[in-house]
Amino acid sequence: FIPKYRRKVMYGKIGKEVGEILSTVCKITGVKLIKGGVCPNHVHLYVSIPPKMSISEVMSKLKGKSALMIFDRHPEYRDKYGRHFWARGYYAETIGQVNEETIKKYIEEQEECSRIEG
């Protein structure tokens, strides 16, 4: 998923903070973070979702709670983005057709991304 207007705002220290925030939100919501990457203008997450939760429910919680936490740490973003740090929508894929190592390798090979480990 991407920040609003696909702005390149998640780099350096801020990228690492966003990774920490997403990791925290995953723990709070009961989602297992396997691997992730925060790039300047998008995020990759490889997660395991409990069967009782839908993908849309998880994404709503991840994006909503993380946005609030980002705004708490960086009030200047609230002025730029209003109430929404993340853009609407996301891309989700199940791993049925691809093995786990392929997904991990893809996330690791993304340039300029801060790594998130579960």
Would you please indicate which residues are annotated as catalytic (active-site) residues? 106
Distance, in Å, from the CA atom of 10 to the CA atom of 65, rounded to the nearest integer, reads 17
